[in-house]
Amino acid sequence: MDTNWTNIGSVDLYPQDLGSCVLVGDVQVAVFHLADEQRWYAVQNYNPQNERMVLSRGIVGDEKGTPIIICPLHKYRYSLKDGKCFTDEQYSLKVFEVREEAGELLVKAS
């Protein structure tokens, strides 16, 4: 499938070391900033474990150096790099590309 970069607005709208949710087409994408690496990650906002749109509201961290997002509802941990769930490997998240360009954030998801 052809996917395009979507501009999701100024970097200033997205807090450091935290998650935000954006709408790309009808897909809810959770965008995260990791201050430690000074970079952005994006995964699906939908947590397949509890079937809720909540991941952007989770806390970010790392498990043995791999950046992770932890679901705010039941604390399932997912790798931000490849979407794999550390807590229960039957779950995984779709990972999207995200990059910063001239003060704007772009995600590749549609």
Partner 1 sequence: MVAIHLVMKPRIIVVGNGMVGYKFCEKFLEKDTASKYQLVTFCEEPRPAYDRVHLSEYFSGKSAEDLYMNKLSWYSENDIELYIGEKVVEIDREHKTVTSCKGKVLEYDKLVMATGSAPFVPPVPGADKAGVFVYRTIEDLDLMKDYAKQAKTCAVIGGGLLGLEAAKAAQDLGMKTHVVEFAPRLMPRQLDTAGGLLLKSVIESRDISVHLNKNTKDIAGDGAVSKMVFADDSELDVDMIIISAGIRPRDELAKECGLEVGERGGIKVDKYMLTSDPNIFAIGECALYEGMIYGLVAPGYKMADVAAGLLCGVEETFEGADMSTKLKLIGTDVASFGEIEAKEGDREIVINDDFKKIYKKLVISADGKLLLGGILVGDADAYGGLLQIYQNKMALPPEPIQLISPAGDDSQVGTSVMDLPDSAQICSCEAVTKGTLCSAIDDGASSVGDLKACTKAGTGCGGCVPLMTDLFKAKMAESGVVVSSRLCEHFDLSRSEMYDVVKVSGIKTFDELLEKHGKGVGCEICKPTAGSIFASIWNKPILEQKKLQDTNDAFLANMQQDGTYSIVPRIPGGEITPDKLIVLGEVAKKYSLYTKITGGQRIDLFGARVDQLPVIWKELIDAGFESGHAYGKSLRTVKSCVGSAWCRFGVQDSTTLAIDLEKRYRGIRSPHKFKSGVSGCARECAEARSKDFGIIATEKGWNLYVGGNGGMTPRHADLFASDIDRETLIKYTDRFLMYYIKTAERLERTSVWLTKLEGGLDKLKAVVIEDSLGICDELDEQMKHLVDTYECEWKDAINDPEKLKRFRHFTNSDEKDKSVQFVQERDQIRPATLQERNFSINL
Distance set, CA 15 to CA 4, 10, 21, 91 (Å): 24, 11, 11, 27
Is residue 2 near partner 1 by the rule CB under 8 A? Answer: no
Is residue 25 near partner 1 by the rule CB under 8 A? Answer: yes
Q: Hunting for tokens 């070391």 — which residue is that?
A: 17
Is residue 67 near partner 1 by the rule CB under 8 A? Answer: yes
Three-state DSSP at 38 gives coil
Is residue 89 near partner 1 by the rule CB under 8 A? Answer: yes
d(CA 70, CA 28): 17
Least distance from C-beta 39 to partner 1, angstroms?
Answer: 12
Site for partner 1 (CB under 8 A): which residue of 40, 41, 46, 78? 46
Is residue 97 near partner 1 by the rule CB under 8 A? Answer: no
Q: What is the dihedral of CA 54, 94, 61, 11, to 10 degrees?
A: -80
Is residue 95 near partner 1 by the rule CB under 8 A? Answer: no
Three-state DSSP at 81 gives coil
Is residue 82 near partner 1 by the rule CB under 8 A? Answer: no
Beta bridge partners of 72: none
- Which residues here bind partner 1, judged by CB under 8 A? 8-9, 13-18, 20-23, 25-28, 31, 34, 36, 44, 46, 48, 50-54, 57-65, 67-68, 70, 72-73, 75, 77, 86, 89-90, 92, 94
